[in-house]
Structure 1
């Protein structure tokens, strides 16, 4: 009697979650963005040079917001550049360079803000994996953030269309101009943009807190910075706005056409 075949049956099956990917040039570097959507999570990866070195998660539900901060967003032009104040990014893997972690967490909360702008009722956990070359050097300007968020929204829109039965997959979606994906020709050299007031404040305060508390984890430092910015004295915020304006003017001088 022949021995029974104990080899497990293997068959090709579709991955149980919709996925979509796109790519574009950011700071003249090819950047791949991929999105996997689950019923309880949204997973986004942003990779340059095949890297994924920093992972964070951002709870989008208002139930997880800081009770001291209900997440009401000011309509001022300065705050319109910033992530929604109730969102907090927590590093779950990587993020060993403090300056790069600050940029990564800010990018993740910016993506979370864009998701909530598109769908205010979104409650899934956002998980973002990033592998960005010299993030602290190259991703401190609004333009770079806008381009990344635009690529992310592109794959999110495509993934949503893929998982639905809607036939009009090429319909246009109205969204703020700064959320539109921007593509750059490889032959054009991009210039990094000046930092806004919050980024300057965050980088300054991170160094100060880290020096005073060398054993404090970067996640805790970032949370402290977010809280302090929201309750900071008006004259301090105004001083950082002036620094940002000065940096903008100097940037224009340094990069005259």
Structure 2
């Protein structure tokens, strides 16, 4: 009886490269090991940020520009810090009507803005999965201040981590 697979051909096969671009980075943010995984598919960019090994809340952000959005007024250089007004997140998983949900929207919009600012021709939808601990050094998502000094620091560190995983 002949072998079903010719073993001599297995070693000769060239490694197949995945059509999906993948980048990964990790660092300690506020004492928690935080990972970022970014996948570049043909029609979407998926960004996963976690300090718990979970996917967490998921949001979708379209980068397609709208012709209905007026350009910023001349002399509005300070508006460069704000995300473009046409970038709107849509919840796929998770609660959007909580302080944590609002914070997730903020992260998603700024991650999508980072992609758009680094590649203005990028039109793929950005999917953001965000699973960050809720009680790191006193974070309180039920507090009225969503973006306190501690969260602001973590926010900037997360954006820096995402920027290291560029697939756009």
In the superposition, the TM-score normalised over structure 2's length comes to 0.74
Residue 53 (structure 1) shift: 1.4
Structure 1 gaps, min length 5: 161-257
Residue 105 (structure 1) shift: 0.9
Contact 2:96 2:102 in 1 (8 A): no
Residue 144 of structure 1 pairs with residue 160 of structure 2: no
- 1:82 corresponding residue in structure 2: 82
Task: Write the distance in 1 (CA, Å) between the matches of 2:21 and 2:90.
Answer: 25
Contact 2:40 2:46 in 1 (8 A): yes
Task: Write the distance in 1 (CA, Å) between the matches of 2:132 and 2:71.
Answer: 28
Residue 110 of structure 1 pairs with residue 110 of structure 2: yes
- Structural mapping, 1:206-221, within 5 Å: none
Structure with the bigger percentage of strand: 2
Structure 2 gaps, min length 5: 5-9
Residue 49 of structure 1 pairs with residue 63 of structure 2: no
Task: Write the distance in 1 (CA, Å) between the matches of 2:71 and 2:161.
Answer: 25
Aligned with 1:24: secondary structure?
strand
Structure with the bigger percentage of helix: 1
Residue 34 of structure 1 pairs with residue 44 of structure 2: no
**What is the aligned length?**
149
Say which structure, 1 or 2, has more relative contact order (CA 8 Å, 6+ apart): 2
Task: Write the distance in 1 (CA, Å) between the matches of 2:40 and 2:51.
Answer: 21
- 1:167 corresponding residue in structure 2: none
Contact 2:38 2:47 in 1 (8 A): yes
Q: Tell me how large the CA RMSD over aligned residues is.
A: 3.0
Contact 2:38 2:165 in 1 (8 A): yes
Distance 1:106 1:93, change over 3 A: same
Per-residue CA deviation, residues 132-156 of structure 1 (Å, 9 max, x unaligned), is 1118738724322221111111011
